[in-house]
């Protein structure tokens, strides 16, 4: 199944003012050797096979705006040249059909104004693997996934912003670790501690944001000792505590699907660890 990867692009030049033909741009769309927000590191040479296959086909690599494959107007151009340099994957692309395609014309203006600073590409991994490391400054999880060879490169293109929010990163990382644990890979204590802390924080928000009527019902309490309070006898919260709970829920931020996914996947991960 195709995957997508976003990165902050290094736009080298756009248009005639930079010595290019009208509509052309030059950008680094993938950087080698650094860990991205999904914990991946692309190794130099990873694009060699797919670039050779595209060249042999005689067809250009499509330039698509923000992976909108279902929108024909999002197919805004082609890649004229592409090569791996020590820094990363460098492309020279050309925005086309600007006289008939308003999306292409607008995206070209955004590129020229450097109001778009991220690129993305859709791919499939042909060869890769997990690498353990003690360099926690560069790799805070103590490991990273090294992509050594891409088997497919479907398209490249500019995008406004990548899906790299912390909650989504947590959800993706938790899911990766769950899959790794199921495959027999040992979860490090640092990974476990980080996910436990995040899981607890999201769980607190979930609890506060859940309407009281939907919360698990308390079991009937034992009979109170002599002199017990009315609250002990009924098992109900005092009115002021109930009001405080509703106030906290009202102030709680709405949870995104990624935050819920993070909580669920970390719950699964910790359950797997505790049960061995």
**Using one digit for the tens of pLDDT, what is the confidence trace for 37-74?**
778 899 999 999 999 999 999 999 999 999 999 999 99
Here the tokens at position 242 are: 């109930």
What's the structural domain count of the chain? Answer: 2
* Residue 148 counted as domain residue: yes
The more confident residue out of 178 and 30 is: 30
Q: Among residues 259, 243, 266, which one has the least CA distance to residue 206?
A: 259
What's the pLDDT score for residue 223?
A: 52
* Residue 177 counted as domain residue: no
The verdict on 43 and 114 lying in the same domain is: yes
Using the predicted structure, report yes or no on whether residue 31 has a pLDDT greater than 60: yes
Domain edge (last residue) among 115, 145, 163:
163
The verdict on 157 and 58 lying in the same domain is: yes
Q: Tokens 């106030």 appear where? A: 247
* Residue 146 counted as domain residue: yes
**Measuring CA to CA, how many Å separate 117 from each of 76, 167, 276?**
17, 22, 45
- With cut-offs at 50, 70 and 90, classify the pLDDT of residue 17: confident
The verdict on 46 and 118 lying in the same domain is: yes
pLDDT digits (tens, 9 = 90+) for 233-274: 444 544 444 454 444 444 444 444 444 555 555 555 555 555
The verdict on 66 and 105 lying in the same domain is: yes
Let me know: does 122 contact 4? Beta carbons within 8 Å: yes
The verdict on 209 and 255 lying in the same domain is: yes
> Of 97-106, 111-120, 154-163, 196-205, which gets the smallest average pLDDT?
196-205
The verdict on 155 and 197 lying in the same domain is: no
The verdict on 117 and 245 lying in the same domain is: no
What's the pLDDT score for residue 118?
A: 82
* Residue 184 counted as domain residue: no
* Residue 53 counted as domain residue: yes
* Residue 141 counted as domain residue: yes
- With cut-offs at 50, 70 and 90, classify the pLDDT of residue 15: confident
The verdict on 40 and 84 lying in the same domain is: yes
Mean pLDDT of the 198-205 span = 55
Q: Among residues 17, 35, 10, 156, which one has the least CA distance to residue 85?
A: 10
Let me know: does 5 contact 32? Beta carbons within 8 Å: no
The verdict on 23 and 155 lying in the same domain is: yes
What's the pLDDT score for residue 168?
A: 37
pLDDT digits (tens, 9 = 90+) for 171-183: 444 455 555 555 5
Using the predicted structure, report yes or no on whether residue 151 has a pLDDT greater than 90: yes
Alpha helices in the chain (DSSP H): 48-57, 102-112, 166-182, 189-209, 230-234, 239-251, 257-275
The more confident residue out of 58 and 223 is: 58
**How many helices (DSSP H) and strands (DSSP E) are in the chain?**
7, 9
The verdict on 206 and 126 lying in the same domain is: no
Beta bridge mates, 219: none
The verdict on 206 and 83 lying in the same domain is: no
Interaxial angle between packed helices 257-275 and 166-182, expressed in degrees from 0 to 180 and rounded to the nearest 10:
30
pLDDT digits (tens, 9 = 90+) for 89-134: 999 999 999 999 999 999 999 988 888 888 889 999 999 999 998 8
* Residue 171 counted as domain residue: no
* Residue 174 counted as domain residue: no
- With cut-offs at 50, 70 and 90, classify the pLDDT of residue 232: very low
What's the pLDDT score for residue 1?
A: 63
- With cut-offs at 50, 70 and 90, classify the pLDDT of residue 140: confident
Q: Is 0.85 topped by the overall pTM?
A: no
The verdict on 25 and 159 lying in the same domain is: yes
Structural domain for 8, as ranges = 3-163
β pairing state of 3-8 and 118-132: antiparallel
């Amino acid at each position: 199944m195709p995957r997508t990867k976003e990165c902050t692009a290094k736009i080298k030049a756009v248009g005639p003012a930079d010595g290019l033909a009208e509509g052309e741009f030059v950008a680094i769309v993938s950087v080698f050797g650094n860990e991205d927000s999904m914990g991946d590191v692309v190794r130099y040479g990873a694009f060699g096979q797919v670039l050779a296959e595209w060249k042999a086909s005689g067809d250009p690599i499509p330039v698509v705006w923000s992976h909108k494959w279902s929108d024909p107007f999002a197919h805004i151009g082609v890649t004229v040249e592409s090569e791996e340099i020590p820094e990363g994957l460098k492309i020279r692309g050309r925005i086309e059909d600007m006289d008939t395609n308003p999306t292409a014309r607008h995206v070209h203006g955004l590129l020229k104004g450097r109001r778009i600073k991220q690129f993305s590409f859709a791919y499939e991994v042909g060869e890769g693997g997990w690498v353990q490391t003690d360099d926690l400054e560069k790799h805070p999880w103590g490991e990273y996934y090294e992509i050594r060879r891409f088997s497919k490169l479907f398209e490249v293109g500019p995008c406004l912003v990548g899906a790299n929010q912390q909650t989504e990163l947590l959800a993706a990382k938790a899911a990766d670790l769950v899959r790794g644990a199921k495959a027999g890979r040992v979860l490090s204590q640092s990974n476990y501690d980080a996910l436990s802390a995040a899981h607890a924080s999201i769980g607190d928000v979930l609890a506060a944001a859940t309407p009281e009527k939907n919360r698990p019902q308390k079991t009937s309490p034992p009979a109170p000792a002599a002199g017990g309070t009315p609250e002990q006898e009924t098992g109900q919260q005092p009115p002021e505590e109930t009001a405080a709970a509703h106030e906290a829920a009202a102030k709680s931020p709405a949870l995104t699907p990624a935050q819920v996914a993070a909580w669920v996947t970390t719950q699964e991960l910790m359950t797997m660890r505790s049960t061995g």
